[in-house]
A and B are shown apart, each in its own frame.
Chain A
């Protein structure tokens, strides 16, 4: 009896197993969304003490790149009305790398820049002195009625200008530079070398309350 049983092919029919697995697979494909943690990073200024007045910062007008966005999402860049943000990143790069009145340290920084960035230095006395701390600042001021989308579009362009400068200094593309995480020392070194001497100086002013919501 036992021998006759062994002669039979003992195979479980596994053909429908694939169907079951497919069903599960499709269920997971449909119900889940791949969470992406992508976005534009921003560091808020520290909390203000109401008893202490905000620190007086003396900056020359020429060292501030003013971007104003009103409640109708219209842009005023350096006192001039502009239609869209297409040229914004290039303008900011020119402004940052102007080197109008560099001190000794800034001259050293300038000499360390690659040729393509040096070419941007117009030495315009009406534009920024140097991009180091205490120098050029990009200021974004919105209205309470400005749409979040427009604000992010402007911030995006400002970040683009900075990232392109950083990336060019270390010989990467902006995409490659942004992808650096600083997890291993080699990447961290690249990031630091890109940023060195040119801090990310974006000032986001409190929105004013005239008009809008």
Chain B
């Protein structure tokens, strides 16, 4: 019995001083790995699903084009629109936009620019093909159809 009594004397505090360190480590991990969305998406974005996805490694070479129905139909109408950076642009302005994006890259990387086409699944091919035509004109031929992984049953 005496043995049990002795045990109660030891302090029952779990040292929690290392807990903040652990939480901070997690915090830093999330801060480093995530990218804050720097632009508002003005168009609907429900990406299509596909199975044969490939990952792009070099993020600096990627520029994003968003295509879809505007989220605010009262302002922008219901027809699918193209968004580059923060604004909706007309299809014929894509060449200009591509050249601006190219200017931001170093000279050797300029021809490796990749356009990630984030198009809503309900967009018709007519709109996509117009965009592709402009991209050909702008000589930005590397294209990535952004999509999410389809779960195969």
* Residue ranges of A at the interface with B (Cβ–Cβ < 8 Å): 14-15, 17-18, 20-22, 24-25, 28-29, 31-48, 142-149, 151-153, 155-156, 159-160, 163, 174, 178-179, 181, 183, 206-207, 209, 212-213
- Tell me if B44 counts as interface (CB < 8 A to partner A): no
| Contact, CB under 8 Å: A21 / B24 | yes
Pairs across A and B, CB under 8 Å, 15 listed: A25-B23, A35-B35, A38-B148, A39-B53, A41-B56, A46-B139, A46-B141, A144-B126, A145-B126, A146-B125, A147-B125, A152-B145, A156-B52, A163-B52, A213-B127
- Tell me if B7 counts as interface (CB < 8 A to partner A): no
| Contact, CB under 8 Å: A38 / B136 | no
A44-B136, A145-B125, A151-B125 are contacts. A37–B116 as well, Cβ < 8 Å?
Answer: yes
| Contact, CB under 8 Å: A148 / B37 | no
How far, in whole Å, are A25 and B28 apart by their CA atoms in the complex? 8
- Tell me if B129 counts as interface (CB < 8 A to partner A): yes
Report the interface size for chain B: residues with CB under 8 A from the other chain. Answer: 53
Secondary structure at the A interface, as helix, strand, loop or mixed, is: mixed
How far, in whole Å, are A21 and B129 apart by their CA atoms in the complex? 48
How far, in whole Å, are A136 and B38 apart by their CA atoms in the complex? 45
Q: In the complex, which of the residues B34, B122, B143 contacts A28, with contact meaning CB atoms closer than 8 Å?
A: B34
Secondary structure at the B interface, as helix, strand, loop or mixed, is: mixed
Residues of A within 8 A of B52 (CB): 40, 156, 159-160, 163, 174, 178
| Contact, CB under 8 Å: B50 / A40 | yes
Instruction: Please list the 3 inter-chain residue pairs (A to B) with the smallest Cβ-Cβ separation, ordered nearest first.
Output: A144-B126, A32-B34, A21-B23
Residues of B within 8 A of A47 (CB): 136-137, 139
| Contact, CB under 8 Å: A31 / B36 | yes
| Contact, CB under 8 Å: A46 / B136 | yes
| Contact, CB under 8 Å: A44 / B135 | yes
Within 8 A of A (CB), among B109-139: 116-117, 119-129, 132, 135-137, 139
| Contact, CB under 8 Å: B129 / A206 | yes
How far, in whole Å, are A149 and B127 apart by their CA atoms in the complex? 13
Residues of B within 8 A of A39 (CB): 50, 53-54, 56, 116-117, 144-147
- Tell me if B19 counts as interface (CB < 8 A to partner A): yes
| Contact, CB under 8 Å: A147 / B121 | yes
Residues of A within 8 A of B124 (CB): 144-148, 212-213
In the complex, how many angstroms separate the beta carbon of B153 from the nearest chain A beta carbon? Answer: 12
How far, in whole Å, are A143 and B57 apart by their CA atoms in the complex? 33
In the complex, how many angstroms separate the beta carbon of B101 from the nearest chain A beta carbon? Answer: 16
Q: Give the most central of A15, A147, A155: most B CB within 10 Å.
A: A147
Q: Which residue of A lies closest to B145 (CB)?
A: A40
Residues of B within 8 A of A32 (CB): 30, 34-37
A22-B23, A46-B141, A212-B126 are contacts. A37–B31 as well, Cβ < 8 Å?
Answer: no
| Contact, CB under 8 Å: B141 / A178 | no
Residues of A within 8 A of B141 (CB): 43-46
| Contact, CB under 8 Å: A28 / B126 | no
| Contact, CB under 8 Å: A41 / B143 | yes
Residues of B within 8 A of A31 (CB): 36
| Contact, CB under 8 Å: B145 / A28 | no
| Contact, CB under 8 Å: B119 / A21 | no
Q: Which residue of A lies closest to B47 (CB)?
A: A39
Q: Which residue of B lies closest to A179 (CB)?
A: B55
